[in-house]
């Protein structure tokens, strides 16, 4: 049986975070952050926004009712179409990351085109908020070494998720909620979408039950580790010892 040897190689500090790579056998593969190793009952909730915005303000309102801030990963073309929504999200103290500029499968792009996708979307966001963008989520969750390296070169940490609500599939509010509650653990990153069919019904139930379980729900940036860290082959980010 082939034994898989896994080791960690730390790279230089980028954008306040230290990116990491994982060795799989003899091959070096970069891995994004899927979840965070922590003893704290803390999770992050995130909303990807690529199409539509009519539910976004209500999502912010519901989160505020529960004293929760979240992360919105915004596509550049969405930012261009809904600049007032971007400002509203930022004004309410929510975190904004980039989700690319046009939502392509970025693994099929050259490094130069990947860089253009990211830099364009980052600049669009910053022009509205005046704030640096520090995190990136790949469209479709599709990534490769080139994409993660390109993101790192722009000071962006690539973020995945370990709890997928599957809200985009049109499932019911209770199905969304149960998927989240059944999958969540300390350090989880929850994936939702800003315009899914039943997110407005699911979100208050989800937040209420997470809080009753003792979880603090935060933006991604408040969960992930700042400074030196390592990422294992499952995407678990932990502090470098």
* 4-53 per-position pLDDT tens digit: 333 333 333 444 444 444 444 444 689 999 999 999 999 999 999 999 99
Mean pLDDT of 85-112: 98
Give residue 241's pLDDT: 83
Do the domain assignments include residue 123?
yes
Give the Cα separation of 152 and 15 in Å (integer): 8
Do the domain assignments include residue 63?
yes
Number of residues assigned to the chain: 241
Give the Cα separation of 53 and 231 in Å (integer): 34
Phi, psi of 145 (to 5 degrees): -60, -40
Do the domain assignments include residue 15?
no
Give residue 24's pLDDT: 41
pLDDT tens-digit readout, 44-76: 999 999 999 999 999 999 999 999 999 999 999
Q: What percent of the chain has pLDDT over 70?
A: 88
Domain that holds residue 64: 34-224
Give residue 29's pLDDT: 83
Which of 26-40, 149-163, 194-208 shows the lowest per-residue confidence on average (mean pLDDT)? 26-40
- Please report which confidence band the pLDDT of residue 223 belongs to, taking 50, 70 and 90 as the band edges: very high
* Number of structural domains the chain divides into: 1
Give residue 60's pLDDT: 98
Do the domain assignments include residue 229?
no
Give the Cα separation of 163 and 144 in Å (integer): 21
Give the Cα separation of 21 and 63 in Å (integer): 34
Do the domain assignments include residue 220?
yes
Q: Which two tokens stand for residue 98?
A: 């980039």
Do the domain assignments include residue 134?
yes
Mean pLDDT of 204-226: 98
Do the domain assignments include residue 83?
yes
Give residue 4's pLDDT: 37
Give residue 36's pLDDT: 98
Give residue 176's pLDDT: 98
CATH number at residue 57: 3.20.20.370
Do the domain assignments include residue 163?
yes
Contacts of 228 (CB under 8 A, 6+ apart): 10, 13, 18, 239, 240
């Amino acid at each position: 049986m082939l034994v898989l040897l896994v080791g960690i190689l730390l790279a230089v500090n980028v954008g306040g975070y230290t990116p990491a790579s994982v060795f799989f056998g003899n091959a070096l593969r970069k891995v994004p952050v899927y979840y965070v190793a922590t003893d704290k009952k803390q999770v992050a909730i995130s909303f990807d926004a690529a199409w539509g915005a009519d539910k976004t303000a209500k999502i912010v309102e519901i989160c505020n009712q529960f004293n929760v801030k979240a992360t919105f990963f915004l596509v550049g073309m969405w930012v261009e179409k809904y600049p007032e929504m971007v400002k509203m999200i930022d004004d309410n103290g929510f975190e904004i990351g980039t989700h690319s500029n046009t939502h392509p499968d970025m693994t099929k792009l050259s490094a130069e085109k990947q860089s253009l996708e990211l830099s364009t979307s980052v600049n669009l966001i910053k022009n509205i908020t005046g704030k640096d963008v520090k995190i990136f989520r790949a469209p479709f969750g599709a990534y490769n070494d080139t994409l993660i390296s390109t993101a790192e070169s722009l000071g962006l940490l690539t973020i995945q998720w370990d709890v997928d609500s599957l809200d985009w599939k049109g499932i019911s509010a209770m199905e969304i909620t149960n998927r989240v509650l059944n999958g969540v653990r300390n350090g989880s990153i929850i994936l939702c979408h800003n315009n899914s069919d039943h997110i407005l019904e699911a979100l208050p139930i989800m937040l209420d039950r997470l809080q009753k379980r003792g979880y603090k729900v935060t933006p991604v940036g408040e969960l992930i580790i700042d400074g030196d860290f390592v990422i294992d082959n499952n995407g678990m980010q932990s502090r470098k010892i």
